[in-house]
């Protein structure tokens, strides 16, 4: 039994299709077929049922999978551990972030790069849904978002809170509303709203607030790119709802508080529980939390 075989097996089990699995593993289908067979021979029990053109996992396969997967992950964790042991002089950091937390991330990146110039940084903006998916696939080290992310998911996430920011009405500074100290939820009914698309954590939160308070404002624009959204709001026709923090560095936009409801959004660092945490991640988070 070798890790190679376990890696092949887990992928095959996940896809239940040898051809596709082989392609993802960058080996030929024949190799995969042979390696699975040799693993089955060693275990003395079939891991898959072959029926016609399909394969199904057997009871033994299902049970064995748990061990195989853990084993592969453990080996990988060990590898990662050694990789960045001491050397924050190599390695790569992949950070997911919602646009609303850009202002928190930027200074931290600058500071981190000053301290550890050899660590490559990749920043990915996206919806929390998209990013949670990438996190689960180990394509991301951690993500920065508001904390009402997918909680129904089977695997567990670790939350480290950063700060809170109020959800506010965002309007152009030229708008009449910009003068007001605050508005009520009901005022929203008469405003044409431009909101982030489905999938953004803020949007999920907003929809929830609407539902609870039984109001259905006109959402006349949905868009999945926040800079563009801000640009459109700046132009004057629409208002939007975002956290106050989102526009903290925008001159031509004003955040008007929404009265009477709890609109506190908690920003947090989200990562996978029980997975080895890179040195670079630790160092980065130390900088981030210090602020």
Q: What crossing angle do the helices spanning 59-83 and 3-15 adopt, rounded to 10°?
A: 120
Give the whole-angstrom CA distance, residue 28 versus residue 209.
52
Q: If phi over 0 gives left and psi between -120 and 50 gives alpha, with beta otherwise, what is residue 287?
A: alpha
- Encoding tokens for residue 159? 């939350």
* Site for DNA contains 33 (CB under 7 A): yes
Q: What is the DSSP string of 179-193?
A: G-S-B-TGGGGGS-E
Please tell me whether residue 96 binds a second copy under the rule CB under 8 A.
no
212 binds DNA (CB under 7 A): no
As to burial, measured by CB atoms within 10 angstroms (0-12 exposed, 13-18 middle, 19+ buried), residue 210 is middle
Which of DNA, a second copy, none does 70 bind, CB closer than 5 to 8 A by kind?
A: a second copy
Which of the listed partners (DNA, a second copy, none) does 278 bind, with a CB threshold of 5 to 8 Å by partner kind?
A: a second copy
* Given 6, 10, 13, 55, the residue binding DNA (CB under 7 A): 55
Q: Using CB under 7 A, which of 6, 11, 13, 35 touches DNA?
A: 35
Distance in Å, CB of 129 to a second copy, minimum: 20
The partner residues of 48 in beta bridges, in order of sequence, read: 57
Q: Is-contact 184 256, C-beta < 8 A?
A: no
| Position 74 contacts a second copy (CB under 8 A) | yes
Q: Which of residues 151-180 bind DNA (CB under 7 A)?
A: 154-155
Which residue, among 53, 116, 113, has the nearest Cα to 87 in the 3D structure? 116
* 122 contacts a second copy (rule: CB under 8 A): no
Residues of this chain that interact with a second copy (CB under 8 A) are: 1-4, 6, 43-46, 49, 51-52, 56, 58-60, 63-64, 66-68, 70-71, 74-75, 77-79, 81-83, 85-86, 90-92, 138, 155, 272, 274-276, 278
Residues of this chain that interact with DNA (CB under 7 A) are: 2, 4, 16-20, 22, 26-31, 33-38, 48, 50-55, 154-155, 274
């Amino acid at each position: 039994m070798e890790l190679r075989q376990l890696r092949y097996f887990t992928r095959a089990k996940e896809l239940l299709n040898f051809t596709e699995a082989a392609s993802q593993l960058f080996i030929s289908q024949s190799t995969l077929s042979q390696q699975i067979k040799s693993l089955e021979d060693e275990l003395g029990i079939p891991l898959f049922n072959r029926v016609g053109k399909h394969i199904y996992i057997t009871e033994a396969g299902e049970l064995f999978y748990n061990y195989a997967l853990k084993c592969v992950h453990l080996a990988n964790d060990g590898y990662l551990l050694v990789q960045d042991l001491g050397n924050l002089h190599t390695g790569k950091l992949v950070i997911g972030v919602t646009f609303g937390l850009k202002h928190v991330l930027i200074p931290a990146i600058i500071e981190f790069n000053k301290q550890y110039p050899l660590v490559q940084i990749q920043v990915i903006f996206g919806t929390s849904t998209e990013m949670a998916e990438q996190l689960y696939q180990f394509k991301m080290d951690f993500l920065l978002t508001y904390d009402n992310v997918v909680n129904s998911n089977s695997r567990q996430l670790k939350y480290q809170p950063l700060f809170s920011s109020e959800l506010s009405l965002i309007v152009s500074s030229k708008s009449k509303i910009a003068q007001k100290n605050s508005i009520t939820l009901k005022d929203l009914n008469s405003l044409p709203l431009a909101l982030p698309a489905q999938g953004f954590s803020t949007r999920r939160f907003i929809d929830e607030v609407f539902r609870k308070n039984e109001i259905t404002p006109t959402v006349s624009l949905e868009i999945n790119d926040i800079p563009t959204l801000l640009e459109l709001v700046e132009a004057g026709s629409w208002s939007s709802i975002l956290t106050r923090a989102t526009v903290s560095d925008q001159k031509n936009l004003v955040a008007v508080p929404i009265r009477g409801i709890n609109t506190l959004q908690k920003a947090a660092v989200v990562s996978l529980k029980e997975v080895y945490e890179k040195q670079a991640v630790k160092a980065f988070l130390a900088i981030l939390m210090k602020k």
